[in-house]
A and B are shown apart, each in its own frame.
Chain A
Amino acid sequence: MRRLNGAVAIAMLWGLWATSAIYAPSAQAIDPIELEDPALQQRYRDLSHELRCMQCQNQSIADSPVGLAGDLRREVRELLLRGLTDDQVRDHLRARYGDFILFRPDFNARTAWLWLAPVALLLLGLGVAWRVLRRRGALVSEDDSPIEEPRR
């Protein structure tokens, strides 16, 4: 029985690994074009993973097979080959498509809530958790003392 459980667990793990390997986002799977300079290629890959495919919206242009994503990848390659820095490439595309094209938008007045909301919510959650735990702790110690006393 125990051995069977182990086999099932191994099979399930393998299944998980296989599906994730098949569906794992990979720039090369969709985009076979490689730049000659390995450093430039790395920057191109990193950039294309942080630019949103505007048609599908929850995929980066590196992961999306649609035509526009291909056009935007070509644009990024050409800008990099022209010698633009990563920030200049981001600014170039943001000037045309807006903040929305960046998966990690800059921190400014318009995007402040986007960046700060998770931190605020986390602090709130920690505060609530702390209060609840403190109250429970108080209850436990009160309950414990009368039971332990007679044993001594």
Chain B
Amino acid sequence: MNRFLLPAGLFGLLVALLFVGIQRSPQKGVIPSALLGKPAPVFRLPSLDGSADFDSASMRGRWHLLNVWGTWCPECRVEHEMLLEIARSDDIVIIGLNWKDEDLLAQRWLAELGDPYDAVPVDRDGQVAIEWGVYGAPETFLIDDQGIVRHRHVGAMTAEVWAREFLSRMPPRQTVPDGPVMVPAPGAPGAPVEG
């Protein structure tokens, strides 16, 4: 009887350890960003539309999303409709970091699917993505008005992720008289909005 007590106890401990491990990683394989709570990396890149270079200094004073995307990334197409939805709500400025892509394909993508971005800096060789610790697309960072990284989501943006991981971290919305109420609607309107 006594000789089974120790092995059984150890086995119980192991089960508890593994259980805690599983509980603490709800999203398997998702690695927390090393930038959380730190200032967003500084960068300057050419813009996709050929206008003046994008300077990350312009991100001060308002809350921003930095969405890392590329036309080679299937999940980016999945989340595109949701990004358009967020852009329509006007809650936040969306920067679309075009990662290791081809300008022509990216321009065609935005013309066909709609453009949710306020600016599209082009990171052709992936240098800026390394500064942000990007390891796959899509990734979406939340940056506050002081330029501090507040959150990173790896994978497609959905209405649920937007409400649970992003809106909950942002300050309550200032009441704008005619502003549309931001509801994370599952069935977003099909027609993309121009601009």
Interface residues of A (CB under 8 A from B): 54-55, 57, 67-68, 71-72, 75, 94-98, 100, 124
Q: How far is the CB of A125 from chain B (nearest CB, A)?
A: 11
B135 (CB) vs chain A CBs: closest residue: A54
Interface residues of B (CB under 8 A from A): 10, 29, 31-35, 100, 125-127, 129-133, 135-136
Provide the main secondary structure of the chain B interface: loop
**What are 9 A-B contacts with C-beta separation under 8 Å?**
A55-B135, A68-B135, A71-B125, A72-B130, A96-B133, A97-B31, A98-B34, A98-B133, A124-B10
- Docked-complex contact A68 and B126, CB < 8 angstroms: yes
- Docked-complex contact B29 and A57, CB < 8 angstroms: yes
* Distance of A97 Cα from B31 Cα, bound (Å): 9
Provide the main secondary structure of the chain A interface: helix
Q: How far is the CB of B102 from chain A (nearest CB, A)?
A: 14
- Docked-complex contact A96 and B31, CB < 8 angstroms: no
- Docked-complex contact B34 and A97, CB < 8 angstroms: yes
* Distance of A71 Cα from B132 Cα, bound (Å): 13
* Distance of A109 Cα from B35 Cα, bound (Å): 19
A99 (CB) vs chain B CBs: closest residue: B34
Residues of chain B lying within 8 A (CB to CB) of residue A97: 31, 34, 133, 135
- Docked-complex contact B130 and A95, CB < 8 angstroms: no
- Docked-complex contact A54 and B31, CB < 8 angstroms: yes
- Docked-complex contact A100 and B31, CB < 8 angstroms: yes
* Distance of A71 Cα from B125 Cα, bound (Å): 8
- Docked-complex contact A71 and B129, CB < 8 angstroms: yes
- Docked-complex contact B130 and A94, CB < 8 angstroms: no
- Docked-complex contact B136 and A55, CB < 8 angstroms: yes
Q: List 12 additional A-B contacts (Cβ < 8 Å) besides A55-B135, A97-B34.
A: A57-B29, A68-B126, A68-B135, A71-B125, A72-B130, A96-B131, A96-B132, A97-B31, A97-B133, A98-B32, A98-B33, A98-B34
* Distance of A67 Cα from B125 Cα, bound (Å): 10
Residues of chain A lying within 8 A (CB to CB) of residue B127: 71, 75
Q: Given the known A-B contacts A55-B136, A67-B100, A68-B135, are A75 and B29 also in contact in the complex, defined by CB atoms under 8 Å? A: no
* Distance of A124 Cα from B127 Cα, bound (Å): 47
Residues of chain A lying within 8 A (CB to CB) of residue B35: 96
A78 (CB) vs chain B CBs: closest residue: B127
Residues of chain B lying within 8 A (CB to CB) of residue A67: 100, 126
Which of the listed residues A55, A75, A96, A124 has the most CB atoms from chain B within 10 Å of its own CB?
A96
B72 (CB) vs chain A CBs: closest residue: A67
* Distance of A143 Cα from B148 Cα, bound (Å): 74
Which of the listed residues B31, B32, B132 has the most CB atoms from chain A within 10 Å of its own CB?
B31
B14 (CB) vs chain A CBs: closest residue: A121
* Distance of A64 Cα from B130 Cα, bound (Å): 16
A68 (CB) vs chain B CBs: closest residue: B135
Which of the listed residues B29, B100, B135 has the most CB atoms from chain A within 10 Å of its own CB?
B135
Residues of chain A lying within 8 A (CB to CB) of residue B130: 71-72, 75, 96
* Distance of A100 Cα from B132 Cα, bound (Å): 15
* Distance of A70 Cα from B44 Cα, bound (Å): 22
Q: How far is the CB of A113 from chain B (nearest CB, A)?
A: 9
- In the complex, the 3 A-B pairs of residues with the closest C-beta atoms, listed nearest first: A54-B135, A98-B34, A96-B133
